[in-house]
Amino acid sequence: MKEYLVSDIDFAKDVLLLEAEAIKNLVNRLDFTFQEAIDLIFYCKGRVVVTGIGKAGIIGQKISATLASTGTPSYWVHSSEAKHGDLGRIVSDDVVLVLSNSGETEVVTLLPFVKQIGAKVLAITGNNKSSLARHSDVVLDIGKIEEPCPLGLAPSASSTAMLALGDALALTIFKKRNLRKEDYAFYHPGGELGRKLLTVEMVMRKKEENPVADEDTPLLDVLAIMTETAGKPGAVSIVNKQNKLVGFFTDGDLRRHLKNGISFLHYSAKEVMTRSPKTIHARCLVAEAYKLLKDYKIDQVPVVDDSHTPIGIIDVQDLLEVGF
């Protein structure tokens, strides 16, 4: 290996070690002020408005996105744009999270206006003697951090520490909210993550899109219900007098019976339905519904609640729409 390559790799390792050290040092800096920051955001009746300039601003965008995706309403405001009308987005019930390593960037000029609005200010800074720190309600001090930049100027270790501390804030609040996987999925409907966490209840056809018929209903009327239901799911859940699921009739069943003539069209639903059909609970994951349809080579499955009442239907087309 050429000598200059070894030197480059050694320098890159030093960068990673310095940034890792910056994060590690934050552990011992967490004290009661971190709990104050947690409480300030957790009990906030408005939104968490995040702002910053330069690299700190970019880190702020990510922190805001993490907060929003874990159940804390948040958005990012550019510090410069805020002075040209975007201050109107901030209300007295908000918490304004300000990021600045030096604590002396132009974000400081926003503080008098934020104070006038009545919003609380939470700062993440590397200078607890700065103007930002003095005018904030709660200060999270990351301390003086050595930047691995050859000139010691480009924000890198300091911005990494800000990002890690922002994650610690967001995820601690996420834990404190006791959100379920279903709640998390609600904020992530797209992509692989969303597909893994979607529940049947989120995508099933329900109410007027969920065709249901009594077991004594004439088959011709069942076919009419199947045809006239919005979305045309191609199946009907069959219930008894107690509204409990006892069968299922699909367009596949119709085609199979037609092979033996048309006399069955004068039967009732209970005479031609599939008894004890496969079902899935509304709380199950969509991935489980997908496996059920695939394993049994069926196109629809009734969705039931704890009392075995059909409250919805899942069609293979519904799964295609959410990426399965």
Binding residues: 78
Q: What burial letters (b/e) apply to 23-32, b meaning 16+ CB within 10 Å?
A: beebeeeeee
Q: Do 265 and 273 form a contact (C-beta atoms < 8 A)?
A: no
CA dist., res. 99 & res. 61, Å (int):
10
At CA 188, angle to CA 122 and CA 57, rounded to 5? 30
CA dist., res. 44 & res. 32, Å (int):
18
| Strands 310-315, 300-304: pairing kind | antiparallel
- For 6, left (φ over 0), alpha (ψ -120 to 50), or beta? alpha
Binding-site positions for Zn(2+) read 78
CA dist., res. 162 & res. 226, Å (int):
57
CA dist., res. 278 & res. 182, Å (int):
23
Which helix (H) or strand (E) covers residue 280, if one does?
A: strand 280-281
Residues contacting residue 16 through CB under 8 Å, at least 6 positions apart: none
Q: Do 94 and 49 form a contact (C-beta atoms < 8 A)?
A: yes
Six token digits for residue 279? 């079902």
